[in-house]
Amino acid sequence: MLKRHIVLLATFFAISCLSMYWLLLNVTTMMPNHIVTDYYHFNWNFWWIRHALTHGMSIYQTNYVMFPFTSNLALHTLAAFWYPIWALFEPLVGSMIAIVVIYIAAYTISGYVFFRFLRAEGVSHKLAFVGSVVFEISPIMFVALFYYDVNLLGWFWIPLLMLIWRRLAKHVIQDASSRLSGVLWSLLLAACVWGMVLTDLQYPLLALFIVVPYGLRTLWELPDWSARLRLGVYGVVAVAGSLLLLWFLGPLQYILSFNSEGLVATPADKAVTIPFPWGFIGVFDPARGISLGIVLLPALLLALIWNLRSRYRNNRHWFWIALVPVPLVLGAGAYIMIGETRITMPYVWLYQLFGGLFRFPERFAPIILIPALVYILLTLTLLLRRVSHHTQLILVAMLMVLVFIDSRVFIPMILQPLPRHYDFYEAMGEEPYEYTVVEVPNGARSGEVIVGDDAQAALQFYGVTHGKRMINGLISRVNIGHFWYLRTDDALLSWLGQRRFLEPEVVEAQLRDRIYNWPIGYIVIHRDMIWQDGPTMQEILGYFNSLLDLLCPVWVEGDAVVYRTSWHPDGCPPRTPPQTAPGEYTIDIGAAHDVRFIGWGWHYVEEVGGLSVRWVGEYPTTKFYVDLPPGSYQLSLSAQAFYRDRNLEVWLNGRVIGKANVSSNGLSTLKFDLAADDIGSGQNLTFELIYDGTNSAKELGISDNDRPLALMLDWVKFNQK
């Protein structure tokens, strides 16, 4: 018996791997889909559960996302049931691959449990295997993988609850005297209800459409009222046990205390549905939405016709098909179009009953699939008894091929690169301090409302690495006031989100307050998320570099520039240019780390004549900032004027140190002497380039580029005398 179960589990494990083979072949570099999906908050969810448990905090309240607000996670898609698998594998293979392990486990469990359920309902071994594969690799499971929705992997709870309830009913008939055994089965049922709720809050609602009728049918099938009463008592014990578990080890307390103020519901006509009519009879295509496939409903219709014509009178058959119409209708959503006519559907009532919180009628697909499969397979079980064993094997093999085709198993999954790894987040995670990381640009969202865009909210993913509080991120159900202010109401954060113009005095005052009171440890600028051709990027870098007593750039990695704040206990390293020779310090303009020194007015890096350079001219003057060892220096600039020769003045800390004429005929080296008194301590030196006007290529008729340009610079050097 044990060997049979091991073989079954191994088979369903193999099918799970087959169904996601393309992902598994690329699992170290790629993840599903081609757009931002929900990967970031599910990875963060599991990190947060571990962090909360190891620090004596509640997993259902947090200010680690959407700081400084504390949010209730009771209605958030936390998917806590899967946490133990993540906690086991994450230290070994990392968070992203640990979640792939969760997918494999969920697929395997789904196939195995549904097989056991089908066998218990009287489906033959061969057909139970076919039905289990259909269930295991159904479109809803593919969508869970494709969109990284770990919370959608718990459909096995529904057949499992019915299996345990069936076992309780059998106990009442065969072993009524053993009350302890009955209580233990009841507690197991309670534990399953608890696990189902920890997977996602939607399952109890969806399970009602199958589990409650099944439970009532099981009660009715018992031989007498005494047995029904005993089973009812065990049911009450299971309900009471599940409520206790959910109260002390679950979200029930937090659900009852949840403040719905600020929640925004998705309009009924925007709910995600099984598209009518394609979703009911079309080939599954995740880009178009959930589909029941091309096999299920036609097979259900054929089975119904055969049963009607043969006058078959098994009540179990009719019970299962009776469960199909309600979820079938609800799955179509609020409205369907037939020609030019819009027809209102019963889903509207369900939507109103739950205040708009149930916004995915597409998730009725498994609630249609389960009873439809049972009905079809019970009918086929009767039919296959009439043919030879050899013919049965051929028919089952043909069915399996059809199932694989209908489920897209042979089509490679669309993949995208894993999020970029940054070493500086690792460094933050190793720091023993508690602080807030401000990501730029900022973006946050609930399940219904978003400020910024998904890519900005997805920066929550890096919280798994740095383990600090942050503003960016997603909480499924949250007061939108916890992030809506980011849009235009906050001078600092709305500016950093590129939704409000910079007000330097107001922003500086907010920075001085928040750096020390939140506190803020780092501000991370993601340049790849900010428009490079406009003034925004140079404005952010230039303004931050000018706040010498508040911020200092400490890391430049890829497109990210990381500023440490003056609150940080480790302090700021000197902003000294790299030493390229004895006594020589060089800012290589156009190199990755030049952003540590430049101020307002520097355009983006570009290639000119094989050199990486920057033009200046966005503002009337342009600054750069350095720290140097005390002493006297010669300052050298490799520069070229745009279009015409230009006069240049160089200032240091508010006074002129030299003047020069810059040629427009190629790069030339300009030299200026800096006395030791000019350098002083060498700290917080601010150099300013003042030029006599700018021109743009557009105004000169050279091209469509309208950037104001004055000088092009290749490098800046300081040679100690």
Whether 258 shows a pLDDT value over 90: the answer reads yes
The CATH superfamily of 574-721 is Galactose-binding domain-like (2.60.120.260)
Whether 9 shows a pLDDT value over 80: the answer reads yes
Is the pTM for the entire model greater than 0.85? yes
pLDDT category at 177 given cuts 50, 70, 90 is low
Q: What percent of the chain has a predicted confidence (pLDDT) above 70?
A: 99
* Residue 668, strand partner residues: 639
Q: Distance between CA 719 and CA 577 in Å, rounded?
A: 11
pLDDT single digits (tens) 602-630:
999 999 989 999 999 988 899 999 999 99
Domain ranges of the chain: 1-32+76-153+388-418, 61-73+419-571, 156-258, 260-386, 574-721
Task: Tell me the H-state helices in 82-175.
Answer: 83-93, 95-120, 125-136, 139-146, 157-174
Higher-confidence position of 316 and 451: 451
Which helix (H) or strand (E) segment is 395 a member of? helix 389-406
pLDDT at 322: 95
What amino acid occupies position 678? D
- Three-class SS state of 178: coil
Q: Distance between CA 545 and CA 163 in Å, rounded?
A: 65
Higher-confidence position of 357 and 279: 279
Whether 349 shows a pLDDT value over 70: the answer reads yes
Q: Distance between CA 323 and CA 352 in Å, rounded?
A: 23
pLDDT at 257: 93
pLDDT category at 266 given cuts 50, 70, 90 is confident
Q: Indicate the DSSP class of residue 420.
A: P
pLDDT at 313: 64
Whether 171 shows a pLDDT value over 70: the answer reads yes
**Cβ–Cβ contacts within 10 Å for residue 309, how many?**
8
**Residue 226: both structure tokens together:** 């005494």
Q: Distance between CA 34 and CA 413 in Å, rounded?
A: 10
Higher-confidence position of 384 and 322: 322
pLDDT at 312: 65
Q: Distance between CA 358 and CA 354 in Å, rounded?
A: 6
pLDDT at 388: 85
pLDDT single digits (tens) 285-340:
887 889 998 999 999 999 999 888 886 666 678 899 999 999 999 999 999 988 88
Higher-confidence position of 62 and 393: 62
Higher-confidence position of 457 and 404: 457
- Is there a contact between 670 and 715 (Cβ–Cβ < 8 Å)? no
Whether 356 shows a pLDDT value over 80: the answer reads yes
pLDDT category at 401 given cuts 50, 70, 90 is confident
Whether 396 shows a pLDDT value over 70: the answer reads yes
How many helices (H) and strands (E) in the chain?
A: 26, 25
pLDDT single digits (tens) 580-594:
999 999 999 999 999
pLDDT at 393: 85
**Residue 500: both structure tokens together:** 């409000």
Which of 100-114, 151-165, 274-288, 504-518 comes out lowest in average pLDDT?
Answer: 274-288
pLDDT category at 489 given cuts 50, 70, 90 is very high
- Bridging pattern class, strands 469-470 and 436-440: parallel
**Residue 335: both structure tokens together:** 């409205």
Residues 6+ apart with CB under 8 A from 577: 585, 586, 587, 597, 626, 716, 718
Mean pLDDT for 14-41 is 94
pLDDT category at 534 given cuts 50, 70, 90 is low
Whether 27 shows a pLDDT value over 80: the answer reads yes
Angle at CA of residue 386, ends 381 and 390, nearest 5°: 90
- Please name which of 134, 102, 139 lies closest in space to residue 27, comparing C-alpha atoms: 102
Which helix (H) or strand (E) segment is 338 a member of? strand 335-338
Task: Tell me the H-state helices in 415-546.
Answer: 423-430, 454-457, 463-466, 491-496, 504-517, 536-546
pLDDT at 176: 65
Mean pLDDT for 373-400 is 88
**Cβ–Cβ contacts within 10 Å for residue 356, how many?**
17
Mean pLDDT for 53-64 is 97
